Amino acid sequence: MNKPAAFFSNTYVEETRFGFWFLRSHTWQHHVLRVAINDLRRLFSEQPPAQAVLLDAGCGQGKSFRYLRDTFAPAQWLGADADPHSLTLSGQEAERLGLEVKLLGSDCAELPLADASVDMVFCHQTFHHLVEQQKALAEFYRVLKPGGYLLFAESTKAYIDTWVIRWLFRHPMHVQKSAAGYLQMLREQGFAFAERNVSYPYLWWSRATDFGLLERLGLRRPKPFGEREETLVNVVARKPLQAAP
């Protein structure tokens, strides 16, 4: 496993101490990561690439590795993150799992990878930390092979811009987007996807006002799709086989 060089960036917002701890928690791993990866797998219109080169963009502390291994079984692993301490922990997690992961000390807006070198980019709850979102998305598009996939899972502004999330975590608020805003950004970059490749999970933890407590107690019915402001959006988007340069 390659040892990452130290790297610091002004193009992403560093997590709070609480946020850093939370990203190691059972809640994060079981109720957030696991659920998102299972949902993304369901959104494929065809079988995912076999023996894929997979980039975990914003791999954090490596807690996604075992779920990605079990779901997609990539042949080659890459993990990129701009936080040196997170990369150290990712390396420890990879060693614990017996995985060979090449770790890159890099911001998502400038990836040290060749054009068309990756089959899948996994970007889970990373984008809302990035200041240069458009540049990062262009980098994902660049490094993906024609026909490659972006597995994109994000919290929307409706969730990020709540008092409890503002209090516990840190994000660049001026770049937060709605679900529709993220989908438009993906399309404008050139990614292709259909309605069946998109989901809008309405999970208990994404309802930051009461975390769905009133609904679990039967005191309020969940708002159906179309009557609520979406808090999450998951997309399996594809770079066209004949992608524009």
Tokens 């065809």, located at residue: 46
Could you give the CA distance from residue 217 to residue 193 in angstroms, rounded to a whole number? 37
pLDDT of residue 231: 86
Which band of pLDDT confidence, cut at 50, 70 and 90, is reported for residue 205?
low
pLDDT for 66: 94
16-30, 44-58, 109-123, 171-185 — which is least confidently predicted? 16-30
Split at pLDDT 50, 70, 90, the class of 213 is low
**What pLDDT does 138 receive?**
97
Mean pLDDT for all residues in the chain: 84
Q: Report how far residue 237's alpha carbon sits from residue 13's, in angstroms, rounded to the nearest whole number.
A: 25
pTM of the model: 0.85
pLDDT at position 183: 97
Q: Check residue 4 and give its pLDDT.
A: 41
What is the b/e burial string over 173-182, where b = at least 16 CB atoms within 10 angstroms of the residue's CB? eebbbebeeb
The rounded Cα 185 to chain-centroid distance in angstroms is 15
CATH of the domain spanning 17-238: 3.40.50.150
Contacts with 189 (C-beta within 8 Å, 6 or more apart), sequence order:
134, 137, 138, 141
Residue 88 phi/psi, 5-degree rounding, is -60, -45
Which pLDDT value is given to residue 239? 97
pLDDT of residue 170 exceeding 80, the answer is no
